[in-house]
Amino acid sequence: MSLASPTVNYGSTDSPYGPCLLAVSEDRLVYLGFLLPGEQAVPVLTAAGLGPALTRDDKSTRCWAGRVFSGEAVPIAPRGTSFQLAVWDALKAIPRGQTRTYSEIAHAVDRPLATRAVGTAIGRNPLAWLIPCHRVIRRDGALGGFRWGLPLKRRLLREEGVPCPQ
Condensed to tens digits (0 to 9), the pLDDT of residues 89-146 reads: 999 999 999 999 999 999 999 999 999 999 999 999 999 989 999 999 999 999 999 9
pLDDT in the model for residue 116: 96
Residues forming CATH 1.10.10.10 domain(s) in the chain: 82-159
CA pair distance 152, 6, nearest whole angstrom: 32
CATH architecture of 82-159: Orthogonal Bundle (1.10)
Residues forming CATH 3.30.160 domain(s) in the chain: 8-69
Catalytic residue set: 133
8-69 belongs to which CATH class?
alpha beta
DSSP SS3 for 83: helix
DSSP SS3 for 56: strand
Tell me whether the omega of the peptide bond preceding residue 78 falls within 30 degrees of 0, making it cis.
no
pLDDT band at 1 (very low <50, low <70, confident <90, very high): very low
